Structure 1
């Protein structure tokens, strides 16, 4: 399509945006076949505009066998027929933009589907072929316990599905093994190959040409591999497949593509080292990265403050905005997590039958929403969080997430946060679709959370999110200043004079001096104090 001809606004909208995550398969079903689709999203654009979000981030909508929820991509230039067509995606991007809502698409550069034309060609071409150089094909190795004929995998790298004990190498009938850090249906690409790099830059241009404003990069720290493929030794640097220095050259090249379209990147970067994390956010690399420290932090005032301070400190040297996330398509929903004895999130700790107090969790989730929306930077809202949806228990025979099977049935997987949304309480399947049962079952009582019911209730979670997003401009884009506060209480102001107080202590607390109560996550007590697990926005 040549050079971009459409005009782009040269703004830093992404620095303070509220971005809504759309998991298309579970958002809204436009044709009634039980699977969410782009027609469903287009029909709900007025809802999203009324919510007040600045952008939509879509999980992969590309052609896929759906072995891992669409993160096994067979063709980046085609929309999966279950979701619609490329023309419909273009209409969605344009219609959302007319409402002032930008679009961010997901790319999965670490791997492709085993049905991708490249991998099918590699299988057909055989060992030693140029086609196999686009992936990580290797002969087996010998060991003390055998392997004379290559029966042992090339190395001992662990799976990136936490809890999985299954190998990351699969052997073919011709004797070669291929690497897949996730499922066998997701072969890893060889990012040392120039064809792989060129293809992904072309994919970026393809979607920027179609009007997307940004790209979210899945597993952004995994692409580059040590070419020697050595065994994994915990604690030894550099890691052979995580956060390798070669990655930064890749993202600098990507940045030059994005800059031509005023495009924005957000990286999925799980790294414990703040200095290493910040490298991805240098001015010529990614614009933003997800903040998993805050997402996984327990409901504890001291630890939340430490997470906030650390996040802001690690972003400051590179001038990048922080992002704040409470939940996404991979983690336990907020109201459920905050109602448990352990309020943090850890993939390794997921288990069936963990008890939760939903009333407590909902109260905390309401306060957490005001906390996150008051912080400096951008905020991501996962679909259904604005409805206060809990994690759903999925019957074992209906679980589709490979995390469950690859853990040997011990990890319940991620389907519990992916249940199709309830839109209309009195409609079939709570208004998600009209004809077929949804691809994941909706639990009993799901209609009680329906958007149409909440829209009429001024005390609902939906009403709180709408009000908070509308009022959020009162905080501006300036820094955060902590205020003196009792133990268990978080209190801060922002540059424009608005402030936030969150009470995580056991007793009610008085509010600091203010001229106006802008919003609170729950009612104040009879003495005008802020109860436990409640947040308030104030004008100084």
Structure 2
């Protein structure tokens, strides 16, 4: 296979979109490999399983799939503890299976992004095994080590995201090593140029195989305070919040040198893009908008193509609040390219947060705001969080923080619901996590046959997006709707203007939108209406999402 050959289209058909890259025009679909499709019958999803479902993925009208980590790992954090950056864990298959997936995806016009985890490795990675073998080992400085304080206490007060201190004592050497997640996930020292070179080599390994880019895990944590100063107490901490929130984090998050590290990674991707196939980098960053947008970098030193915008995962389902956030974000992005996400492997599912009645409204919001949408597997059919019995909890974040509500991420990671067959068509045996009780009525096979299903509404939206350049490249402008539970905005290009009206509530609303013309043509409605609608008295049904072309 020629890793640089692909049938992935380079240029869109519509002239209005020809200045945009594929990752600006398209939709990204996140796959959690353990839970997508099991081809070998061991109860865990794998690469061959994903390959077997590529026709389904292509039918969704997406541009790319993003795979959560598939690298060799002891699976202490289900792959986010990497033991080898240039391989595939046998649980998921082999490098040959990956190459076959990549080739088959490209043949269908789908790009493939991998989840890169450069902040930390597994404690079983050969690098760390060497580093901890002695204080004078050449790889010792590849990780963050510190001596105990005089009384043997930890070097400082830093905390782990998963509960407890961020330091573990290596008794053999008498020093502590840093881990902001599990003790089995020691942190790399990004000040060391050899570390950065090694990660760059790992990126090249996958780029040479033909991957189209990376989603980079916890990218805003790469820099750490060299003096290892204590972090200040958070005055807003309250009981019930995750213990990590006890502190503010100026010395472990969003440090100035992090931007230099990311710029180096971006330069490598740009080298590959210059060869003719555009590569992209999405950075996982949980920061306020004002800080988030700095991770686009500058013209002289570009950074992430898209710093992940998680605001919709952190804002309640409130039309006015979401409008305010969308307005603010759109204004702050500037020359950067926006992006939106409603759910992922770390957040409760959309349906569980907003309710089944609002599923079409949420889908429409995600796919019509300005910027690249990222969809989490199963959201297109309305999968919900699953109650996991205590004895079946797998997630270390939940196991280590039993008193913290929603600490476990298992509920949103359950197997994809393909059919009403045993084990939801995901596997031929009991899956690694419990199935949703509703899988016999909420599944792909059933919804595929139903023209009124959420799945087919999702497809209708992606088809509309593909032929409506305003929804991809158009400017965003919000309008005053006159109701607290309605969000209205336009997407405009020289070729025209499209209006999006979203009813977040269960009551019918009549909107008065002067200045837009007398009437518009319905492009799509979640209540299946067609034809023209008056704009000065625009009626919205309860829970309706409506997309209208203005004259």
Q: Could you state the TM-score of these two structures normalised by the residue count of structure 2?
A: 0.87
Equivalents in 1 of 2:339, 2:398: separation in Å? 29
Q: Are the counterparts in 2 of residues 189 and 196 from structure 1 also a CA contact under 8 Å? A: yes
Query: Which residue of 1 is the match for residue 502 of structure 2?
Result: 502
The CA deviation string for residues 192-235 of structure 1, in whole angstroms up to 9 with x for no partner, is 11110001111111111111111111101101111111111247
Match of 1:465 in 2: 458
Q: Aligned partners of 1:29 and 1:133: how far apart in 2?
A: 40
Which residue does 1:26 correspond to in 2?
Answer: 35
Q: Output one character per residue of 1:319-373: Cα deviation in whole Å (capped at 9) or x when no partner.
A: 11111111000011111111xxxxxxxxxxxxxxxxxxxxxx0111220111121
Compared with structure 1, are the counterparts of its residues 57 and 430 closer, same or farther at alpha carbon in structure 2 (3 Å cutoff)? same
Task: Report matched runs for 1:36-435 at 5 Å.
Answer: 36-124=45-133, 126-142=134-150, 147=151, 151-161=152-162, 164=163, 166-174=164-172, 175-234=174-233, 239-262=250-273, 263-272=279-288, 274-282=289-297, 283=299, 284-316=302-334, 319-338=335-354, 361-412=355-406, 413-425=408-420, 427-434=421-428
1:238 Cα deviation after fit: 8.4
CA contact (8 A) 1:464 1:521 kept: yes
Task: Flag structure 2 segments of 5+ consecutive residues without an equivalent.
Answer: 12-19, 235-246, 274-278, 531-536
* Distance in 2 between residues matched to 1:414 and 1:210, nearest whole Å: 31
CA contact (8 A) 2:3 2:209 kept: no
User: How has the CA–CA distance of structure 1 residues 227 and 484 changed in structure 2, closer, same or farther, with 3 Å as cutoff?
Assistant: closer
- The alignment partner of 2:37 has SS state of coil
| Counterpart among 3, 14, 17 of residue 23 in structure 2 | 14
Instruction: Tell me the distance in 2 between the aligned counterparts of 1:293 and 1:299.
Output: 11
Any conservation in 1 of the 2:232–2:249 contact (CA below 8 Å)?
Answer: no
CA drift of 1:528 comes to 8.2
2:487 to 467, 485, 490: 490
On the 8 A contact 2:113/2:215 being kept in 1, the answer is: yes
- 3-state SS, counterpart of residue 463 of structure 1: helix
CA RMSD in angstroms comes to: 2.3
Q: Is the 8 A contact 1:420 1:440 kept in 2?
A: yes
Task: Report what 1:529 is aligned to.
Answer: 539
Confirm or deny: 8 A CA contact 1:4 1:261 kept in the other structure: no
CA shift digits 1:389-448 (9 cap, x unpaired): 1100011111110111221353440000000011121x22010012x2101011323221
The whole-number CA distance in structure 2 between the counterparts of 1:443 and 1:111 is 33
Contact 1:34/1:437 (8 A) holds in 2: yes
CA offsets 1:60-80 (integer angstroms, 9 cap, x no match): 011111111210010111101
Cα deviation 1:510-530 (Å, max 9, x = unaligned): 3665432222223579x9831
Give the aligned partner of residue 473 of structure 2: 477
Alignment partners' CA distance in 2, 1:410 and 1:271: 22
In the alignment, the residues of structure 2 paired with residue 12 and residue 267 of structure 1 have an alpha-carbon distance, to the nearest angstrom, of 17
Q: SS of 2:325's equivalent?
A: helix
Q: Which SS does the other structure have where 1:449 is aligned?
A: coil
Alpha-carbon distance, 1:176 to partner: 1.4
Return the alpha-carbon distance in structure 2 between the equivalents of residues 192 and 520 of structure 1: 53
Tell me, in whole angstroms, the C-alpha distance in 1 between the residues paired with 2:402 and 2:368.
Answer: 41
Whole-angstrom distance in 2 between the partners of 1:393 and 1:5: 44
State how far apart, in whole Å, the 1-side matches of 2:85 and 2:336 are: 29
Distance 1:280 1:229 in 2: 24
Task: State the 1:508 CA deviation.
Answer: 1.2
Whole-angstrom distance in 1 between the partners of 2:260 and 2:33: 32
Q: SS where residue 181 of structure 1 aligns?
A: coil
Q: What do residues 17-61 of structure 1 show as CA deviations (whole Å, max 9, x unaligned)?
A: 211001000000111110000011000000001111000011001
Q: 1:454 to 1:129 in 2, by over 3 A?
A: same
How far apart are the structure 2 equivalents of 1:444 and 1:198?
Answer: 48
Give unpaired runs (5+ residues) of structure 1.
339-360
- Give the Cα–Cα distance (whole angstroms) in 2 for the partners of residues 277 and 234 of structure 1: 23
Conserved 8 A contact 1:403-1:411: no
Asked if the contact 2:505/2:542 (under 8 Å) is kept, the reply is yes
Q: CA contact under 8 A between 2:418 and 2:445: conserved in structure 1?
A: yes
